Amino acid sequence: MGDARVGKSTTSRLMLEMYRNHSKSVRVFYHGNRNKLSMYERSDFKIPLLGFSRGESDILLMNLENDKSVDLVFTDMPGQNLQQFKYFEKDVSLIDNLNLLGYRITFLHPISHRRDCVHEYLEDLCGTYSNSVDYVVVKNLHFGDEFNYYDGQPIQEIVNNLQGTELCLNQLHDIYYQKLDDTNLTYQEAISEKSPLYLLERSLIFHWIESFYASVTNNNRAFKYLGLEKIEEIAVEQTKRRVKW
C-alpha cells in the first residue's frame, strides 16, 4: 500500500517478478480505478478488482479456505483507499478471519521524501493495527536519499518496536524508468532480448531489479514477511501464509 507517485506499483511489479522466480502460488488483486499490474496478466497472473464489500470478502475467504495450494495473496492498493479499507476490515473482521485460515497480513509500504506517505498513511496503519500485522517500509531512493519525515522520527521507532523492517529501492534514472514504463511490459519481458529497449538500457534495468532482490534476500525479516520463506523453514507455531497490502 502506498501514496500516489511514491513507487507503490513499481514495488508491486518487482514483488510479482520475485514471486514468479521463487515459484510461489500467488492470488493477485488490485484496488482503485485502474489496474497498474495489468501487464502481468500475460504472465499467468489473474488480477481482478477486489472491492470492499462483505460479499467479496466472503468469496475471497471461501476461495482461500478451499484452495490450499495458495502460498500468498497480494493486493495493490492506493493509499487513498486506506480509510475505506479500515471500515471494510472492521466490518468483516478481515484480519481475524485471515488468521484463522493461517494467513497474516503484511503492509508493504513505499515512502519518499514527502510528508503524506509517512504522516497520513504509515502512522495511521501502525496506530490502527499495531502488532496484529507486519510492516515492511520501502525507502524509494528515486526521489532522493533523505527521508526527513521518517528517519530518526518517532514513526521509525514505532515501526522498529512493532518488529517492522526496512528495504531500499535504488534509483533508476528518470530517462530509463520512463522508457521502461512506456514499454508496458513486465520487467522480465523488458530486459529480454525481444524487448524494444537497447542493450545498455536493459543492462541498467536488470541491475536495478537485482539490487532490489538483494535488498529483500539479505533481510531475513523482510524475506519472511513477504512470503518468500519456504513453508518447511517456518516453525509450526507461526503463520505459514501471507497477505500483502
Beta bridge partners of 107: 135
How far apart CA 82 and CA 124 sit, in angstroms, is: 9
- Residue-wise pLDDT for 5-17, tens only, equals 688 999 999 999 9
Grid cell listed for 100: 484463522
Regions in the chain scoring below 50 on pLDDT: 231-239
Q: Look at the alpha carbons of 142, 148, 149, 152 in this order and tell me if their dihedral is positive or negative.
A: positive
How far apart CA 199 and CA 231 sit, in angstroms, is: 38
Q: Look at the alpha carbons of 220, 223, 224, 226 in this order and tell me if their dihedral is positive or negative.
A: positive
- pLDDT computed for residue 1 by the predictor: 60
How far apart CA 173 and CA 131 sit, in angstroms, is: 36
Cβ-in-10-Å burial (0-12, 13-18, 19+) of 236 comes to exposed
Beta bridge partners of 27: 73
Q: Where are the domains of the chain?
A: 8-171+214-244
How far apart CA 172 and CA 162 sit, in angstroms, is: 31
- pLDDT computed for residue 235 by the predictor: 40
